Every structure is written in C-alpha cells, then in structure tokens.
C-alpha cells in the first residue's frame, strides 16, 4: 500500500510524528501537499478534503492519512492505525492501549509547548501576545516541562526489559514521538533543556537511539525532513527560554 499523508507543506508540526513513523517503517508514502500542483498536490489538494465532498467522514484538520479507502485523522489515531501494521506497536491489547495512552499524553505536551508562544489565540501574531507568552513560557519551562519529562523518564525506568524503549521490548511509535518532542524542545528551549536533560538520562539515551536508526538517520539528513522554523509548533524565541 502507498499511503497519502496530508499536512501543511512548510512545517513539521503534528504531521512530523506521522512522517517519522512512516520513515521508520520503510513505508511507501507521498506527502501530498509538498507535491507540485501539476503533480496533483499542493495545499489545494489538502483543502479539497477539508472543504469538498471527497470523503463522507471529513477530517477537522490535518494531519490525516489516506490508506486505501480509509481516511484517518488526528495524530494519535493515525499512529494507533499504523503501529500494529508495521511492527511499531505491541501485539497485545493492553500494550496497544498503553502505547495509545502515552501518545495522547505526548499530544497534551505538544499543545502546551505550542501555547507558550500563542497563549491567547493561534489567529493572533506572537507580537500581539508577547507579555502573555512570557508568563505562559515561564510556567511551562519551570513547572510543566519538567513534570512531563519526569513522567516519561519514569515510564522508561518502569520498562527495564525494554532496553531503553518506552513500550514493550522493541521500537514503537511512542519512541519516535518522544524523539520528536525532545528535538522540538531542544530547538525551542535550548538553555532549559540542557539543564533538564542532565538528570533525565533515559530520555536523552532514547533520543540518541532513535537518531541512530539507519532509516531515521537517512531521513534526518534528507530534504524530506523540514527544518524547525518560526511557523511550526516548536518555535525559538530567546526571551521565552528563561
């Protein structure tokens, strides 16, 4: 099967969690909105799903994945679909539910990271909510970010037979998502992450393990990996990295 991924073409965003899983699986996929319009891609191809009548069960927003006749939206939902099909999720029901639970917790963290620079509304510019962003980021960096990282550090510690993996004994989509979270937080809050990672060595080790995977290493070094930028979820504003 060749999957079709629909996400905004200029940012990593939430679509990157899906891209990493597809890349780690060696799956055949096309990033539709990054194709030219002549190739049938671009943002108009994405908007046809959101505004047209292409599917009966219409997605609310990207990312969404087309797999045969299925159109699946929401990052955690997409990964729950892909994981078992590509050996990136536990085989047992309890394990799959645990992986999904962790992914939903990651989604909460991602939302909080985004809201540091857009605490009032996504429709406003950062400059229009700068003072509120400072307050939001101070709370996130000082309290919420350490709490989330401590939680996942404990998840890794509680899985001693996993050889550094979060779920089960092998690589899962949760590991790939934790890699992306660490990468994003390092970009957005480099000073804070350097301090926080000193005592959270399991998370750092997981990041290094995922980055060294041949398929992931090849992806990170390719043009398919969109660089972090000031339009995505993780944005670097030095004044927020207090």
Look at residue 93 in the predicted model and tell me its pLDDT.
Answer: 96
Q: Domains for the chain: give ranges and CATH numbers.
A: 2-85 (3.40.30.10), 93-213 (1.20.1050.10)
Maximal C-alpha separation, the chain: 51
Look at residue 56 in the predicted model and tell me its pLDDT.
Answer: 81
Check if the beta carbon of residue 11 is closer than 8 Å to that of residue 43: no
DSSP structure string for 126-161: GGGGHHHHHHHHHHIIIIIHHHHHHHHHHHHHT-GG
Look at residue 40 in the predicted model and tell me its pLDDT.
Answer: 86
Check if the beta carbon of residue 57 is closer than 8 Å to that of residue 71: yes
Reported as a single tens digit per residue, the pLDDT across 4-54 is 999 999 999 999 999 999 999 999 999 999 999 889 899 999 998 888 787
Look at residue 57 in the predicted model and tell me its pLDDT.
Answer: 85
Check if the beta carbon of residue 91 is closer than 8 Å to that of residue 84: yes
pLDDT along the chain (242 residues), means of 10: 95 98 98 92 91 83 95 97 97 96 98 97 95 97 97 97 94 98 98 96 97 98 97 97 86
Check if the beta carbon of residue 175 is closer than 8 Å to that of residue 165: yes
Look at residue 180 in the predicted model and tell me its pLDDT.
Answer: 98
């Amino acid at each position: 099967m060749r999957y079709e991924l629909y996400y905004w073409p200029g940012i990593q965003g939430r679509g990157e969690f899906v891209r990493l899983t597809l890349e780690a699986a060696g799956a055949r996929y096309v990033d539709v909105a990054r194709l030219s319009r002549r190739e049938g891609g671009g943002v108009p191809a994405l908007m046809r799903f959101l505004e047209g009548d292409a599917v009966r069960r219409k997605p609310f927003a990207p990312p969404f994945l087309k797999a045969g006749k299925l159109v699946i939206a929401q990052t955690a939902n997409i990964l729950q679909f892909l994981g078992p099909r590509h050996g990136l999720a536990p085989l047992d029901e309890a394990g799959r539910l645990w992986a999904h639970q962790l992914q939903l917790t990651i989604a909460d963290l991602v939302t909080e990271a985004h809201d540091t620079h857009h605490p009032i509304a996504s429709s406003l510019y950062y400059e229009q909510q700068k003072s509120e962003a400072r307050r939001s980021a101070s709370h996130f960096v000082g309290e919420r970010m350490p709490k989330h990282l401590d939680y996942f550090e404990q998840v890794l510690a509680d899985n001693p037979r996993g050889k550094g993996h979060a779920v089960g004994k092998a690589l899962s989509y949760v590991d790939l998502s934790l890699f992306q979270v660490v990468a994003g937080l390092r970009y957005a809050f480099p000073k804070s992450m350097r301090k926080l990672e000193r005592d959270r060595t399991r998370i750092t080790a997981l990041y290094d393990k995922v980055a060294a995977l041949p398929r992931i290493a090849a992806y990170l070094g390719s043009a398919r990996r969109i660089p972090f930028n000031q339009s995505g979820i993780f944005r670097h504003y030095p004044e927020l990295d207090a």
